[in-house]
Structure 1
Amino acid sequence: MSEQSARVTSMTGFARSDGGATSTSDDGAATDWSWSWEIRSVNSKGLDLRMRLPSVAERWEQTVRERVSASVNRGSVTVNWSLEKADRATTPELVVNEAFLETVLGLQQKLEDKGLVFPTAPSLDRLLNVRGVLETVERVADTTVIEQLQAPAFADLDTALAALVEARHREGARLETVLLGHLDEIDSLTADAAKVAEAQPVALRKRMEGQLALLLAASPPVSEERLAQELALLATKADVREETDRLSAHVHACRELLTGGGAVGRKLDFLCQELNREANTLCSKAIDLDLTNIGVELKTRIERFREQIQNVE
């Protein structure tokens, strides 16, 4: 994996790891087992872990939780472990119920003692067809089996977790490219806003002249102090340099977070709120249509940026 691809980690990913092992019962019978680990991850405010394990393996829950937490910092993660007998061990074991067979043969002897005559002795195949004489025994996973499967099963869990981290890094690399593209657009619009704002003094002068005419024509006349306050307020409101400077600073901070790597999703979300706040203020201060349009476009780009960072760890 390249250095760049590992800088941003997405919370979205999927991984699967298959494996198997043989368990031995107390009577020496061997049973082959196969299993599959599936891990899915989507975005979440924190680390939300859900597990689906067979009831006999519920004792593994804490260990599985610790291993997932060591690999994943954030996201809604679902871990599923399915266990079944391997194909070559699916034939059930046939067992003769000897006690029941003796009962059947004993019944024949009782009937003969009462004078009932059987033309021929019962054959083995007929006896085996009597319901209850021949039984099938399915070997199921129990505590002993789970203990024998734990080491190889956890090794496959680690394999699945490594694959999940790799998948989240790959998605993160794609996400980083998209996010940096959005930041470029926000930065460009901020520069356009600063450029348009330079032309605002002309519009501001015309607006001040109109405001001044209204104030001077007011009845009763407005005091000089009030007049100075109104003009100062109008001039301050029209100055958007502070907003454009802050927008540029926030864009720079976002770029540093993205290229610095690590779990930066929450920090990016906070900076996105600050970007949106400055864009709103810029729109409220705009005194011409061009700057208003740029402010609206800025808010649109910032919203797209915000939607994408919801997937960043």
Structure 2
Amino acid sequence: MTGYAQAVCEPPAAGGDEAPARPAGRAAAAVELRSVNSRFLDLALRMPDELRGLEPGLRELLTQSLRRGKVELRLSTQQQADGAWPQPQPEQLLRLAQLESTVATWLPRAQPLSVNEVLQWCRGSQTAPRLDEAVMHAARQAVDGLLEARAREGARLVQVLLERCAHLRTLATQAAPLLPQVVQRQQQRFLERWNEALGQAGAAASLTATQLAERALNEAAAYAIRIDVAEELARLNAHLDEITRLLQAGGEVGKRLDFLIQELHREANTLGSKSAALELTTISVEMKVAIEQMREQVQNLE
């Protein structure tokens, strides 16, 4: 099923609570999810190398929430566009001064840090420690949004499938009364041929006219048994009933619907192979078209 969702989340404040306002220069985690149709679950994760350690957790989150679809997750960090630099904290500057003093002791010719370098270091040290929590929180929000989008599409697909089921029922109803008419026409055809044969044989054959007529009726009865599609139509209606029940019940029905669509296709093929009239052939073709349309949509359902 197709769907799209995105979420942006900031790391929690150092004290553990979410900051009421965005600190200047603070990073945020952005997660984008795209899903297209696929019979199986195919995950593709795009993320910065420094966040690759989160890939197992993200995969577990996706596999627990999704069953089908080609899903692409894009993870990035966004620097807040406040136009302001981070406010260095005293403990950061103290730590940086200690590091610079150590470097100067061992490397007297090393250049002192510039203001820009100090601010860049402070910015990185502020956002890095707790960015993992923001990533997972944003991923959960994006998954929830994707599920909502897929649910809306699923509701539309259910309506389409129910319409196709109704169309197939109509076609089956049209096919049922055609069979006696086909048998009757064929029986009449047999009788006409036997009468023609008797007329050509002359009066000598008149003694066996009753026997030949009985044979014609037997041939017609055997023909009727051979082209009888009542069982196929009954099974087709039973499959349609089960498909309707599954669609109305909801839940994870994609795999079961796949199997039922195969059974529908088998019954339509049998109906076509037994067809002895143009009307039944036309109905069989229309059934196959509708079933194929259902197959394409069912592969999108989870």
The question of a shared fold, defined as TM-score above 0.5 by the shorter chain, is answered with yes
TM-score by length of 2: 0.74
Match 2:67 to one of 62, 70, 73 = 73
State the distance in 1 between where 2:126 and 2:76 align. 17
Q: Distance in 1 between matches of 2:223 and 2:286?
A: 24
Q: Would you say 1:55 and 2:46 are equivalent positions? A: no
| Superposition deviation, residue 172 in structure 1 | 0.5
Which whole-Å deviations, capped at 9, do the CAs of 1:143-177 have from their partners, x for residues lacking one?
99544112232112111111111111111111111
Query: CA deviation digits over 1:75-133, x for unaligned, max 9?
Result: 2111111113222367599x9x998xx98xxxxxxxxxxxxxxxxxxxxxxxxxxx999
Kept in 1: contact 2:29–2:75 (CA 8 A) = yes
Matched, 1:292 2:274: no
| Residue from 172, 181, 190 that aligns with 1:190 | 172
Within 5 Å, which residues of 2 pair with 1:103-252? 136-137=116-117, 138-139=120-121, 145-209=127-191, 233-252=222-241
Which of residues 78, 99, 103 is equivalent to 1:84?
A: 78
Residues 57, 146 of structure 1: 8 Å contact kept: no
Structure-1 separation of matches of 2:134 and 2:262: 47
Unaligned runs of 5+ in 2: 15-22, 88-95, 201-211
The 1:302/1:189 distance shift into structure 2, 3 A limit, reads same
Aligned residue identity for 2:254: G
Question: Residue 255 of structure 2 aligns with which residue?
Answer: 266
RMSD across aligned C-alpha pairs, in angstroms?
A: 3.8
* Distance across 2 between alignment mates of 1:132 and 1:210: 113
Q: Which runs of 4+ in 1 moved over 6 A?
A: 140-144, 210-217, 226-230
What amino acid sits opposite 1:195 in the alignment? Answer: P
Q: Which moved more, 1:175-184 or 1:140-149?
A: 140-149
Which of 6, 30, 38 in structure 2 is aligned with 1:16?
6
* TM-superposed deviation, 1:186: 0.6
1:50 counterpart SS class: strand
2:236 maps to a residue whose letter is: L
User: In the alignment, is the contact (CA less than 8 A) between 2:25 and 2:81 conserved in 1?
Assistant: no
**C-alpha distance in 2 between matches for 1:31 and 1:49:** 32
The equivalent residue for 1:307 is: 296
279-288 or 171-180, larger mean C-alpha shift:
279-288
When residues 305 and 133 of structure 1 are mapped into structure 2, their CA distance, relative to the original with a 3 A threshold, is closer
Q: What secondary structure sits across from 1:199 in the alignment?
A: helix
Task: Choose 237-246 or 80-89, whichever is displaced more.
Answer: 80-89
What percentage of residue pairs aligned between the two structures are identical? 36
Residue 308 of structure 1: how far off its partner (Å): 1.3
Task: Calculate the TM-score normalised by the size of structure 1.
Answer: 0.72
How many residue pairs match? The answer is 264
Residues in 1 aligned to 2:38 and 2:148: alpha-carbon distance in whole angstroms: 19
- Check the 8 A contact 1:56/1:142 in 2, yes or no: no
For residue 65 of structure 1, report the CA deviation from its aligned partner.
0.8
C-alpha separation between the residues in 1 aligned to 2:197 and 2:269? Answer: 29
Q: Distance in 2 between matches of 1:192 and 1:169?
A: 35
After superposition, the Cα gap between the structure-2 partners of 1:17 and 1:205, relative to the gap in structure 1 and judged at 3 Å, is same
Q: 2: CA distance between counterparts of 1:162 and 1:202?
A: 61
Alpha-carbon spacing, 1:188–1:202, altered in 2? closer, same or farther (3 Å)? same
Structure 1: distance between partners of 2:165 and 2:245: 11
State the SS of the aligned residue for 1:299: helix
Higher strand share: 1
